[in-house]
Chain A
């Protein structure tokens, strides 16, 4: 299993790879001629990261991330359209002379966000909080952060399921209305996750503090 193999790789190697991917997603583009080749690279690496996320997670998780991303894309698209229609230069470093470059440049942002999603989520799937423990105080904090993220993810799935059962969220996407409802209710899933996480956070933070103290004594 790919996931198991990746999990056994040293944390430093996994973190370095994540860093490298991160850097490659945010290059400095000197002129508009670099936009097209960079877009091809970005698209390829995003597809690879999507495949990786599918392999280390599940088809259901992949489609869920894609749905959330698509919702963001709809809102972003409205803003982007205003920029394109007004022919505004949106880059602080490159002079965009043609509309096709403006469109391409604007497309880079959401695809980059998707790549960040997939790389981050894949990293979380193949790294366990326990791996951070040997890195002192910062390691403990990262460990707690990661556990919080896992609990938030679990909470989000539970909230989503509860909302589906209550008929507040569609579980299939057969019509435009289903997508509309999903878009409308998605911020609520996030808000509920944060609310439930807040209740958990206090107790878990204390428990973690106790664990850290005990660990230091050992």
Chain B
């Protein structure tokens, strides 16, 4: 048993105060917290990434990276240097063009083909991936590759921060197996995570980061009640609303639609009817075509005429502008959709729009000064901002791609509040694309699943 204790401060401001861990070989430690800079810093310190030594002498970059330039003081330094760190963005860890190159370069010492195949197989990636370009992989596939590398590097400590939301069920099972295997080898695994429910069996110790300090909690208590009373009340309110709303008018009718990317079949004669004022949740494994549905609805890819009716009119007859007025889409990665610089520009846009409801939501949720840069917003705030900004007076369909992805308990509560209010105040159908873990099973949504190229109702 080793003990570590450290403090991390930036310009005399303490960010992490006397963080202590008992390190016992073969244990898996879960750390939960609100998503804030202290949590990010904690993961990166444990991952031996921070503090950063050198930074470019550019003021805007210094401001952006301020949290990473702190001072780390170990009062008890038994922390090994041999650490594998995986953050919530797999692109940060992949350095080369192709999967095969990535594996051989990062593993070093010219690994054999058999070794490479074995490593890929740990996260169910087949040999055919070796020649795939990194940029053609989906986010989930990139994360699987990053994780397979992290476990293969044979380090004493493995730090995983926000990796679970990327993984489908198969990926999550693989992660659990890898953690079990690593524990058997005496490794220590730190998991900093919001979507921790699926890891219950492999976690030994649970810590919670409260602002600057860390506290150990009983695992059984922590897992028995993952959501607080407020969240349960919000769920109950939304479920009540779902029951009350009338849902017999057809919004979207997909009739025997077939679609493929080159030779990769996505949908085969699939049919689906969505009704007004309903809430749906679509789930399925990585790469089965969940997001493709959004691409089809926004005519980003071409489909045959008379296969999709939206509001009793063929989808191909709509212009993009007409679709944007009726369908609000919030992608999984909000930073690509945030095309404004600061809150002021967003405020101006919302106030110039035709939705009084969006204006009132914006005023309540975003009270920052006009000059506040969007880049400083947290992930959840970005999604909230986009959701509000995408609402018009004509919006009848709200399409949310992984909306609860990596949300901490506070952000989850904010999201539930926002969705409930939108659903209550507008005549709107909400369609959630999600891996359907965490909170989703608790909501009385119409569950849909994609499998075998079909979208089906899920029992």
Residues of A whose CB lies within 8 Å of any CB of B are: 128-130, 133, 143-144, 147, 150-151, 153-155, 158-159, 161-168, 170-171, 188, 192, 195-196, 198-200, 202-204, 206-208, 210-211, 214-215, 218
Contact B108 A218 (CB under 8 A): yes
A144 to B96, CA, bound (A): 9
Contact B339 A165 (CB under 8 A): no
With A159-B336, A162-B331, A206-B52 known to touch, is A128 a contact of B97 (CB < 8 Å)?
Answer: yes
Partner of B92, one of A130, A168, A188, A204: A204
Instruction: Count CB-based A-B contacts (< 8 Å).
Output: 101
Is B109 among interface residues, defined by CB-CB distance under 8 A?
Answer: yes
Nearest chain A CB to B389 CB, angstrom units: 9
Is B135 among interface residues, defined by CB-CB distance under 8 A?
Answer: yes
Given A128-B97, A129-B97, A202-B65: 14 more A-B contacts, CB < 8 Å: A128-B98, A144-B95, A150-B97, A150-B134, A159-B336, A162-B339, A165-B331, A195-B375, A198-B61, A199-B64, A200-B89, A207-B95, A211-B106, A214-B108
Is B241 among interface residues, defined by CB-CB distance under 8 A?
Answer: no
Contact B101 A165 (CB under 8 A): no
Contact with A along B87-106 (1 / 0, CB 8 A): 10101110111100100111
Contact B49 A147 (CB under 8 A): no
Question: Which residues of the partner chain B approach A210 to less than 8 Å between Cβ atoms?
Answer: 48-49
A166 to B339, CA, bound (A): 10
A62 to B64, CA, bound (A): 35
Nearest chain B CB to A166 CB, angstrom units: 6
Partner of B95, one of A129, A155, A171: A129
Contact B108 A129 (CB under 8 A): no
A208 to B93, CA, bound (A): 8
A-B interface, 9 closest residue pairs, ranked by CB to CB distance from nearest:
A167-B324, A162-B336, A203-B92, A128-B97, A130-B101, A162-B337, A218-B108, A165-B298, A158-B336
Within 8 A of A (CB), among B34-56: 48-49, 52
Contact B108 A207 (CB under 8 A): no
Question: Which residues of the partner chain B approach A162 to less than 8 Å between Cβ atoms?
Answer: 331, 336-337, 339
Contact A207 B93 (CB under 8 A): yes
Residues of B whose CB lies within 8 Å of any CB of A are: 48-49, 52, 61, 64-65, 68, 87, 89, 91-93, 95-98, 101, 104-106, 108-109, 134-135, 294-295, 298-300, 320-321, 323-324, 329, 331, 333, 335-339, 375, 390
15 A-B pairs (CB sep. < 8 Å): A130-B96, A130-B97, A150-B134, A154-B91, A154-B135, A165-B294, A165-B295, A166-B337, A166-B390, A171-B300, A203-B87, A206-B49, A206-B52, A210-B49, A214-B108
Question: Which residues of the partner chain B approach A218 to less than 8 Å between Cβ atoms?
Answer: 108-109
Q: Which residue of B lies closest to A188 (CB)?
A: B339
Contact A215 B300 (CB under 8 A): no
A204 to B65, CA, bound (A): 13
Question: Which residues of the partner chain A approach B61 to less than 8 Å between Cβ atoms?
Answer: 198
Question: Which residues of the partner chain A approach B338 to less than 8 Å between Cβ atoms?
Answer: 192
Partner of A168, one of B49, B331, B339: B339
Contact B300 A165 (CB under 8 A): yes
A188 to B345, CA, bound (A): 14
A205 to B398, CA, bound (A): 38
Nearest chain A CB to B355 CB, angstrom units: 16
Nearest chain A CB to B382 CB, angstrom units: 12
A192 to B324, CA, bound (A): 21
Q: Which residue of A lies closest to B55 (CB)?
A: A202
With A128-B98, A218-B108 known to touch, is A196 a contact of B337 (CB < 8 Å)?
Answer: no
A129 to B321, CA, bound (A): 41
A195 to B61, CA, bound (A): 11
Question: Which residues of the partner chain B approach A153 to less than 8 Å between Cβ atoms?
Answer: 135
Contact A200 B91 (CB under 8 A): yes
A206 to B47, CA, bound (A): 11
A198 to B61, CA, bound (A): 8
Contact B108 A150 (CB under 8 A): no
Question: Which residues of the partner chain B approach A188 to less than 8 Å between Cβ atoms?
Answer: 339
Question: Which residues of the partner chain A approach B87 to less than 8 Å between Cβ atoms?
Answer: 203
A161 to B65, CA, bound (A): 28
Nearest chain B CB to A33 CB, angstrom units: 45
Contact B339 A192 (CB under 8 A): yes
Contact A128 B96 (CB under 8 A): yes
Question: Which residues of the partner chain A approach B337 to less than 8 Å between Cβ atoms?
Answer: 162, 166
Nearest chain A CB to B334 CB, angstrom units: 9
Contact B89 A203 (CB under 8 A): yes
Q: Which of A161, A203, A204: most chain B Cβ within 10 A?
A: A203
Contact B320 A171 (CB under 8 A): yes
A198 to B92, CA, bound (A): 12
Contact B324 A166 (CB under 8 A): yes
Contact B324 A208 (CB under 8 A): no
Question: Which residues of the partner chain B approach A168 to less than 8 Å between Cβ atoms?
Answer: 339
Contact A143 B95 (CB under 8 A): yes
Nearest chain A CB to B84 CB, angstrom units: 10
A218 to B324, CA, bound (A): 54
A164 to B336, CA, bound (A): 11
Question: Which residues of the partner chain A approach B339 to less than 8 Å between Cβ atoms?
Answer: 159, 162-163, 166, 168, 188, 192
